[in-house]
Amino acid sequence: MQQTPESSKKHQELTQENYKDSKDYGFGIAKSLAWILLFLTLASGLLLSVFIGQSARDVLLKKEQGFASLLAENINQDVYRKFSIPTLLAFGRISLRQPAQYERLDETVKTSVDGLNIHNLRIFDHAQKVTYSTNKAEIGSNVFSSPATQQAQLSTTPIFNIDSSIPFWQAIFQPNLKQGSFYLRTTYPMQIENKVSSSDKEGPAISILEFSQDITEDMGVIVRFQRLVIGVALISSTLLFILLLVFIKRAEHALSVRFQERQKLLTELHQNERFVSMGRVVASIAHEIRNPLGIIRSTIELLLKRPIGQDPTTAKFLTAMHDESLRLSQTISDFLDYAKPKQPKQQYIDVILVLEQIFAFISPDLLKYSVDIMKQYPVKGAWVNGDKDLLYRAFYNIIVNSIQEMKNGGVINVTVSSDDKKVNIRFIDSGPGFSQDVLEHLLDPFYTTKDEGTGLGLPIVNSIVSSHGGEINFMNNPEGGAIITIILPVGDIDENSL
């Protein structure tokens, strides 16, 4: 049956209406998916930041608790040796109501904690009354008894509690934490007898030791790190969402123009192709959203290669988004590299060639920061078995750290030496060197003195060196500056390593 012009026109109008309904429905799904993408990216970023922050917090608290346990044991031993034994020998029993005994205990405790960040140190008797305190007004009171002090009477291990003036999640939104916002309270069962004779039925005068340490500064490091992760996730997710909306609106406008210029059949076929293409893009995004960092980077790389990336406004968004994604990617990569280090390949390589590649790569930075490299190499080279890429990263990290520490320029001396068993790579810079406090914590994860950074750079370097069977040492140069020495086993020529 032949179709009349009138019926064809009606069919075309009906097709146009169906197309518009389908187009609106299809783009409505795309916009909904864009909102879902924003929500999932934000949720994933926040969950990731909470996980990383909690892991960092656990590491910090474990370190602080270890220090508190050692401190409590030291106080217990000092009280036993310097107070309990002399007092029992002199008086026959311990009774802190006697001024002479109390003064001796006070002197012993103050000597043990002198110079340490200790607050509210108390000693309780078996009746949960304060028999000694750094605040004499508390002596004889039982209002400071807590479930921890009661539990400690039945325990042989220390009990730890966090006392805070604000919840941890609120600390994230405060620009500066006040001193005393977070305390680590340690309750320690003391093993001290108070009498010579076992006929005395009274309980021990010294039973439970309790003290607090201000850990606000350390918690502040964790808070700032978590702010960084949350902030980057929020900014990146917002930029991604805006970019997707712009992309959808432009695609919608282009489809509308094409629909007006083409015939019904071609337009319908084109629309089907567009919807199929869009479905593939949305399906790809939905698949990749399981990894927010992956979708951010892959979307940027995809859009930068298309004509849409040539628009100045869009390019500005893409550039900002790219920088933020790299920043977050580096933070997460550092954490993952530290948590799950790669196993090194076994290649027969010359560390001198690796160093020379680094110097060639950073030569612009050396000129920019007025840093000179002084080299001293053996003529025959210095060969090891290992992973060239991992060793490159380790050496690069050390050299860049030295450059950053020399604000006004300077010199880095790189000396390579070897014998029959070891290869020594020594870096000596003319920077400020290490303070004693920093020197003790250089390899602690998440410890950093920089405003930006994860504190995982040197721990990762240490992990790389250790995986190669080597060791790394840090010290200050008596003439000024820092000395970092890496010691690696000499390599053996092997067919598998060539």
Residue 187 has a pLDDT of 92
- Specify whether domain 347-497 bears CATH 3.30.565.10: yes
Per-residue confidence (pLDDT) for residue 10, from 0 to 100: 47
CA atoms within 13 A on the CB side of 70: 6
Q: How far apart are CA 320 and CA 318, in angstroms?
A: 6
Task: Indicate the DSSP class of residue 496.
Answer: G
Per-residue tens of pLDDT for the chain, all 498 residues? 444 444 444 444 545 555 555 555 555 666 677 677 767 777 777 777 777 777 878 888 888 889 989 999 898 888 888 888 888 888 888 888 888 888 888 898 888 888 888 888 999 988 888 889 988 888 888 888 888 888 888 878 899 998 888 887 778 777 788 888 889 999 998 866 444 444 444 445 467 899 998 888 888 888 888 788 778 777 877 787 787 777 777 777 777 776 667 665 665 565 445 434 543 443 343 344 445 666 666 777 676 666 654 667 776 766 677 666 666 666 666 555 655 566 778 888 999 999 999 999 888 888 888 999 999 888 788 889 898 988 998 899 899 888 888 888 889 999 999 888 899 999 999 888 888 888 877 877 767 777 666 677 788 888 889 888 999 999 998 888 899 999 999 988 764 555
Domain boundaries, the chain: 1-340, 347-497
| Bridge partner residues of 264 (DSSP) | none
Q: What is the pLDDT of residue 3?
A: 43
What's the pLDDT score for residue 168?
78
Alpha carbons within 13 angstroms on the beta-carbon side of residue 103 total: 3
User: pTM value?
Assistant: 0.39
Cα 264–266–269 angle (5° rounding)? 105
CB atoms within 10 A of CB 219: 22
Rounded CA-CA distance 183/165 in Å is 9
> Greatest CA span in the chain, whole angstroms?
125
Q: What is the pLDDT of residue 215?
A: 87
Query: Can you give the pLDDT at residue 201?
Result: 45
Q: How far apart are CA 446 and CA 335, in angstroms?
A: 9
Angle between helices 292-304 and 5-79 (to 10 degrees): 130
CATH superfamily of 1-340: PAS domain (3.30.450.20)
Residue 34 to residue 475: CA distance in whole angstroms? 53
What's the rounded Cα separation, in Å, for the pair 131 and 153?
15
**Among the residues of 140-261, which ranges form H helices?**
147-152, 168-171, 216-261
DSSP structure string for 417-453 = EE-SSEEEEEEEE-S----HHHHHHTTSTT---SSS-
Which structure tokens are listed for 444? 């602690």
Q: What is the pLDDT of residue 7?
A: 44
- Say what the pLDDT of residue 443 is: 76
Task: Answer yes or no: are the C-beta atoms of 465 and 486 closer than 8 Å.
Answer: yes
CA-closest candidate to residue 465, choices 384, 358, 390: 390
